[in-house]
Amino acid sequence: METPGAKHSPGPLDGVIVLDLTRALAGPHAGMMLGDMGARVIKVESPTGDDSRGWGPPFIGDDDERESTYFMSANRNKESVTLNLKDDGDKDVLARLVRRADVLLENFRVGVLDRLGFGVERLHELNPRLVIMSITGFGHDGPEAARAGYDQIAQGEAGLMSITGTDPEEPTKVGVPISDLLAGMNGAYGVVSALYERERTGRGRVVRTSLIAGVIGVHAYQGTRWTVGHEVPEMSGPHHPSIAPYGLFHTATAPVQLTCGSESLWRSFADAIGLDKDEPRFATNRDRVQHRLELIAEIEKIFADQPAEHWLDLLTETGIPSGKVRTFDEVYAWDQLLSQGLLIDVEHATQGTLQLPGPVLRLDDNPYSGGREQHAAPPTLGQHNESVRAWLDGS
């Protein structure tokens, strides 16, 4: 079915209409993922716009057309309409949009939508088939549900900062707002699951997730290290806490990374660089983890004699998984990244042609990334006010 409104190439979610009432990053990221797969995403902003429109520098464009690069990171493939949800006329427009929509995304603090007159019960009165995705900081219920959710706070509260970095006196956050991004990914996954269920039941449901759930959901072996092994994880810097050698090693020029995830890889690696593979401190992975600092010192002593390129070539020849540490300018010039469609060109309404990081999924019948052949640039504030209202009036 062809979706009315903005033109785009069909994708798996073509025909799905998403109302994105979210701001900042977690919710907008979920909406962008759905838009990448072909959904029509209508971003509902306050008259002053999404908070992230003001986050910077960097900004691009002249002052009267200034755009935030932060906002651009989470809002491709969307239309923007502005509504004042304290105004009765604009509330009516939102109600009309809800009746037409398949999905509504929101990340207000608990209780805000109810106070605006759009609680879950009202939304399902307007549209029983509506899938509602709600993202909060700490969960929609429980003793701390009312707390505002921001990424770094969630990283700390959910334990991630306690295992990131090298100095226990200086817990370190991940270099991107990972709890926001994970919550958005989980939210999009929940939406697609609820849409699939709706094919059987004919009714929508509420999907809830949170920033702390996003972090705890990726604790992986660090989580079971405590819940099963009763060992509190600690920082291990750029090295794996349970496998050795696995991490970053300095050479005569730049650092390299390598992993020996099996005993056969360890033996091949040790032979290749001239270490005694059967030395008692390093004979098994358990031994090597126990003597990790000594092993790192031995490897870096050898690596200090040659530049990074020498060791990367040797590791590749030996079949040892390895790599360099790239800066962002190097990453976006990397042939492999370009081959995967991870850099896309879009035409922005005021800024012209822009390059953006691309969608992470590729479909087998589409040589491009995402579910579209062409992607739309992040919208300017209220760019689609007239076209969306015209669509409502004509539908």
Catalytic residue numbers read 240
User: Is the separation of the CB atoms in 108 and 146 below 8 Å?
Assistant: no
User: Is the separation of the CB atoms in 379 and 43 below 8 Å?
Assistant: yes
Per the structure block, which two tokens stand in for 143? 């003793």
Helix segments in 108-258, DSSP class H: 112-115, 120-126, 151-157, 178-201, 211-216, 220-227
Q: Give the separation between CA 258 and CA 317, rounded to whole angstroms.
A: 13
Per the structure block, which two tokens stand in for 331? 């990453």
The closest alpha carbon to 378, from 52, 10, 96, 136, belongs to 52
Coil vs helix vs strand at 240? coil
Coil vs helix vs strand at 60? strand
User: Is the separation of the CB atoms in 110 and 135 below 8 Å?
Assistant: no
Pairing of β 352-357 and β 343-348? antiparallel
Q: Give the separation between CA 123 and CA 288, rounded to whole angstroms.
A: 58
Per the structure block, which two tokens stand in for 364? 């087998």
Strands (DSSP E) found in the chain:
17-20, 40-45, 59-60, 67-68, 79-82, 103-106, 131-136, 206-210, 246-249, 256-259, 322-324, 343-348, 352-357
User: How many CA atoms does the CB half-sphere of 376 hold within 13 Å?
Assistant: 26
Give the long-range contacts of residues 363-370, CB within 8 A, separation 24 or more: 363/11, 363/12, 367/341, 368/341, 368/344, 369/36, 369/340, 369/341, 369/342, 369/344, 370/11, 370/36, 370/37, 370/77, 370/341
